[in-house]
Amino acid sequence: MTRVVLASASPGRRKVLRQAGIDPLVVVSGVDEDAVLAALDPGSTPSQVTAALAAAKAEAVIGALDSAVAADCVVIGCDSMLYRDGALVGKPATAEAARAGWQQMGGTTGELYTGHCVIRLRDNAVAYRCSDSMSTAVRFAVPSADELDAYIATGEPTAVAGGFTIDGLGGWFIDGVDGDPSSVVGIGLPLTRRLLRAAGLSIAELWAANPLP
């Protein structure tokens, strides 16, 4: 029975998987994202950057798995960043940075890139590994000054890529998305399904092996 391991502390990603019928084993990677970014070619595309970060997280988790889990599991790593004004934006470092981001992106459209990595383990060895990325256009509303103050005060914007959510408090200020909404939350179900299928796994099999409690 193949265990699904989510290499992420993100409650949003775990929620997406649980709503889709899979209860994952969560193992936080602890990857130094800045170090991964520093090692990349400066000309890397947003897709390459987010896919590399996702792969680094999945790879890091492999070494932390119990041998019983690594005997038959699939590790899923993800990373999301917002592309706007010609640059990739991760989690705002401060409330002031989150405010500045919203003042710039309000009323515009940005591209949310989410990298995915799937690593299949059989008998404590890697049997399959693949990474990919997808993007979704996000149309931002313009919150009022009072709304933005209140939103920043919640602390949510500094905890998420790009300083916004669509499945939390920030959802009030998203006019719409063009593409896969689940990837904006942090894990795209369509792309993940394709990667799992390439690894020889079916969703029906994973439902049976990772039932909700």
Q: Which residues are catalytic?
A: 79
CB atoms within 10 A of CB 166: 19
